[in-house]
Structure 1
Amino acid sequence: MLRTLDLTGVDGAYRTLLPRGSFDVEAAVAVVHPIVADVADRGAEALLEYSEKFDHVVPPSLRVGAADLRKAADELDPQLREAFLESIRRRREVAGALELDPDPGPAILADGASVGLRNIPVERVGLYVPGGLAPLASSVIMNVVPAQVAGVTSIAVASPPQREFGGLPHPSILAVCALLGVEEVYAVGGAQAIAMFAHGVEGLCDPVSLITGPGNIYVVAAKRLVRGLVGIDSEAGPTEIAVVADDTADPAFVAADLISQAEHDPMAASVLITDSTALTEKVVAEVERQVVGQLHEERIRTALTGRQSAVVLVRDLDQAVAVADAYAAEHLEIQTADARAVAARIRNAGAIFVGGYSPVSLGDYSAGSTHVLPTAGCACHSSGLSVRSFMRTVHVIDYSQAGLMDLADGIERFAQAENLPGHAAAVTVRRPR
């Protein structure tokens, strides 16, 4: 099912050779532009029309009521409730311990000259949670928890209305919102949800400063369209996994992990990077065996046979590391004899999963790490969603007259050299008279 791409005789320039699906955001921008403009112009009336058109249901209320949130939490299966709460606990603990930068003391540069740094949370954020092919309750946790740890005081969540649930978002999504104490929840999906967050809808939803969360290509296009009016986390494409494995890896583990990402989306990418032809044969056979009878078998087969998925054959682990860095996977698993040592050599990945017992599914739900990660090779320059994503860094400059005068001559010369005499004058006027 998986094609094989042989790179054993290639040195360098891997990025252009590696499998990658097409994701034409610009084409989608043309589709969503009138939607975003319409929501900005007509507000709730437009939202209701697009709900009927795209979600095939008109919500009883665009904002989900507190009673519906409580009901969803109260009706949760007790064991599922415990799973949600443990995921929340671990994500909050990791966010607080590793991602929350305390305000450092100021840098004292000279007498009367200091520069401090403050980390200030964004005031209001809009968090989008997909509800199409899979109702991603886990994405509620991955977006809300770091925002709360950062200290964001106003959090709004939007997720598509579901016809089978009377126009409300999926009950699991509502239940997790309730468990997290999020009370502002909207039954709005797609590009129109992004437009609602960015422009606000009078009498319904105030505009936000930052929009985060994954979505389909139209959600991504809408985020691109409103970027600048608001901040966005990223333009996330279809999910992807790369597995670096040698002949010590368990073929059943590798196959299951490739399948796990393929079931997300027909455009999902599953890539195995290995120097072992024997492992390749076993994994391909395992994939075929495991995929039969899967709930989403057709979707999985489409993803695994697509241009974005492949087995990449390399000479050795050194080349495997170089290929993995060139691919810059959203999720990168290392299943080798010395997985920790190999993982330590990786520079480009959204998240690294070390060893045979750290599958991507662990990170998707309960590892404590984030699962909102850069895709499409963007892990070479971007990071996953974290507490820092919801904070702004502000320098605080505090100089006395003496501290400024120590630098006055240099600043005036600098300003004159840039042909900005007004800048120089703003210093000169402060000289002792």
Structure 2
Amino acid sequence: MYTNIPKGTKDPIFALNESFKNDLREKKIDLGVGVFKADNGLTPLMKSVQVAESSYVIKEQSSKVYKGLMGNDGFNREIGKLLIENNDVRESAAVIQTTGGSGALRLISDYIYSVNPDCTVWVSNPSYANHAPILKDAGLKICYYDYIDSDSRMVDIKAVLSSLNSAKEGDVILLHGCCHNPTGADFNKEDWTQLKEFMKNKRLTPFVDIAYQGLGGTLEQDAGGLNILLSEIQEMFITSSCSKNFGLYAERVGAAIIVCKQKDFVPNVKRRLGNIALNSYAMPPNHGAAIVEKILTEPFLNCLWVDELGHMRERIKSNRLALYSALKDLGYIGDIEFILSHKGMFSSFGWCESFINIMRESHGIYIVQGGRVNFAAIAKNDIIRIASSICAAQNLLHRVLSPV
């Protein structure tokens, strides 16, 4: 009765990872994986994390007792500081530690449904693959807003605002705080200001998901759009992940934040969040959160972490420039200036399914549908091969589609 069920649909990214693992070719390349990798193909353990864990967290702990429904209070306090620059706004924010960024997304989604089940959440097209499934599974209705110009591969703010004209009062607008996944195209300061005025006038509620803070620009720069909104909008949902910028993927460390219109609303909001968590996973794991708290409060560790983030950013930028230059030299057809303008780990090239299949089957290079390339996973020695394969696939498709 309970086990004879339909096969179900595989998540496309996890399905791609499975195919990559089963590929026996020695020189296969995975550009679809959503993690930072060093040139040796491994995801490094950050030095700041190593020191915080071994020299502080493990040595100082005397118990493994639960931290409570809200999680690690010190972590919650420091994450609030990392994201929200205005102290008065921070004091009006309910913060709860979650099981990763996806756990935060689910917690906020359940909260929204518990308060306003009739609202619509507007999601960029395209967006992080897990956004829509999480929102829908929480019972929420979703609509999509246009996001990217198909020619320039940059944000089309006019199209964004035009799409959102259909949103009604009380609707929620899901925005990527920085390093948009999968496109890499971010709002600029003027865009964020327009969004602030637009949402304020239409009484829409922002929902900012910020999973890559520090990988596009500095920590302050990547939280800049969020804080532009917070300068005048009194209610907001925020979700944050420590997977990418602390390299704590397996520890599942995240935070859900609700900025309240009044400070005295915070206790009730936190209680509701805690009750939702209790009905799901109850209490989050503390180990990763304790590491983050220690890094954010110990000056030496904080400086080390910020320096490491800087090196990670530079690796991504260097890979962007190298692939851009190689594609230009090899005669890639089309505008690829966006490679240098995009922020963070990803860029979406908009390649068709046939192109992606050629890359995988003929060249052993794995790319997510839609053409998302992870620049943080490219090894320097593979740049020329990747560029040559891209141009070869492009030329092959051109001959097939435009026979003489």
Q: Please give the range of the TM-score, normalised by the shorter of the 2 chains.
A: under 0.3
Find the structure with the greater CA-based Rg: 1
Q: TM-score, normalised by structure 1?
A: 0.27
Q: TM-score, normalised by structure 2?
A: 0.28
